[in-house]
Structure 1
């Protein structure tokens, strides 16, 4: 009997652990982990000493691997799992695909998803006053506008009729990051729904919602996005 790896994550409302969760379902390996889901309260388990010994940054996801060591940061965990476990190579099967996927993933993470996350923290004080140490409305609004500007570039890229960012038959990791960016843009306090603003991102979002892996990743009904949480089983 194979011992399951220990994975420490958060509910589907939190984009980074959700990127990893979608990745694991797309690769078909989600059932090979004992997943510990933190509640992410300001004084929750993720910032207590047991988790800080594993990941001093106190963020999720964190993966404990078989030799007892730990890997954190979403893309780093995904890369380790993509290379070490069987299944489709989500991050690209060839050096060119891997390079292109990493390029697009960086663009989307830095210029879209992280901008929306920044606005969530500094514009809306999203995790509450005990955790949010900075409120800066100008910075938050600038971040929101930057996310929209760069989302328009991804929308333009998809305008040639491709289903996925690299143009293949199945999504890669950059597509997963874009999907979580759209989901988090629809989180009520963010109120910047990218699918409602861009035609091809809307079609992209609809394609994701039809994928069994995507549906399984949001099965906890804790995304905070009504169209995901209220979906019929």
Structure 2
């Protein structure tokens, strides 16, 4: 019997492990891994010595390979798994698709999702100082506005009738990052629900919510977003 590889993640409220989880369900390989979901409180396993021996940064996700080595950083894990496992390539089949997917993923991560997570971290200290290092309302508001501005550019990109970022008939990894950003934008402390602000992002969000992979990835009902945790 083949031993499953191990992946260490966090609840679906946390965007980076959720990007990986959503990718694994879209790829159809989630069942091939043993997933350990860490407690994300300041004294949780994520920053315990066992995980730090795997990943000194103490962040999730972390993938343990068959030889006992590890890969971390979401995009790196995704690109490894996309090449290592058969099936549709979510990071792109051709060099052009791979380049475009990487371009859009980077834009969405840096200018939208990372801005939103920074706003969350500096506006909300409820998780304790190991996760929330400081409080800075001015910086949080700046990051929130930057995320909205760049989301407007993505909304314009989607306004030509395309369903997904690269224009194909199925989402790629850049789409997964965008879906995760929209979900994270709904936390009340950020007050930036992107689907409510932009017409084409709204339709895009509705498409994602109908996908089986999306439903499976958020099945823990622990995203902190009522419409995801308690669907009608």
TM exceeds 0.5? yes
Q: What is the alpha-carbon root mean square deviation over aligned residues?
A: 1.0
Q: Which runs of 5+ in 1 are unaligned?
A: none
1:199 corresponding residue in structure 2: 199
Query: Closer, same or farther in 2 for the Cα pair 1:71/1:131, shift >3 Å?
Result: same
**CA apart distance, 1:130:** 4.9
1:124 correspondence with 2:124: yes
1:39 correspondence with 2:69: no
2:10 corresponding residue in structure 1: 10
| Per-residue Cα deviation, 1:198-230 (whole angstroms, up to 9, x for no partner) | 000000000000000000000000000001000
Provide runs of 4+ in structure 1 moved above 4 Å: none
2:83 corresponding residue in structure 1: 83
TM-score w.r.t. the length of structure 2 is 0.98
Secondary structure of the structure 1 residue equivalent to 2:81: helix
1:111 corresponding residue in structure 2: 111
1:133 corresponding residue in structure 2: 133
1:132 and 1:24 map into 2 onto residues whose CA distance is 28
Residues 121 and 131 of structure 2 are in contact (CA less than 8 Å); yes or no, is this contact kept in structure 1?
no
Query: Closer, same or farther in 2 for the Cα pair 1:84/1:167, shift >3 Å?
Result: same
Say how many residue pairs are matched: 232
| Per-residue Cα deviation, 1:43-94 (whole angstroms, up to 9, x for no partner) | 1001000000000000000000011100000000000000001111000001
2:174 corresponding residue in structure 1: 174
1:20 corresponding residue in structure 2: 20
1:220 corresponding residue in structure 2: 220
1:72 corresponding residue in structure 2: 72
1:130 and 1:29 map into 2 onto residues whose CA distance is 33
Secondary structure of the structure 1 residue equivalent to 2:71: strand
Secondary structure of the structure 2 residue equivalent to 1:160: coil
**CA apart distance, 1:187:** 1.9
Residues 121 and 127 of structure 1 are in contact (CA less than 8 Å); yes or no, is this contact kept in structure 2?
no
1:157 and 1:127 map into 2 onto residues whose CA distance is 36
Secondary structure of the structure 1 residue equivalent to 2:63: strand
2:131 and 2:198 map into 1 onto residues whose CA distance is 33
2:52 and 2:34 map into 1 onto residues whose CA distance is 19
2:11 and 2:28 map into 1 onto residues whose CA distance is 19
2:187 corresponding residue in structure 1: 187
Q: Which runs of 5+ in 2 are unaligned?
A: none
| Per-residue Cα deviation, 1:99-122 (whole angstroms, up to 9, x for no partner) | 000000000000000000000001
1:123 and 1:132 map into 2 onto residues whose CA distance is 9
Residues 188 and 225 of structure 1 are in contact (CA less than 8 Å); yes or no, is this contact kept in structure 2?
no
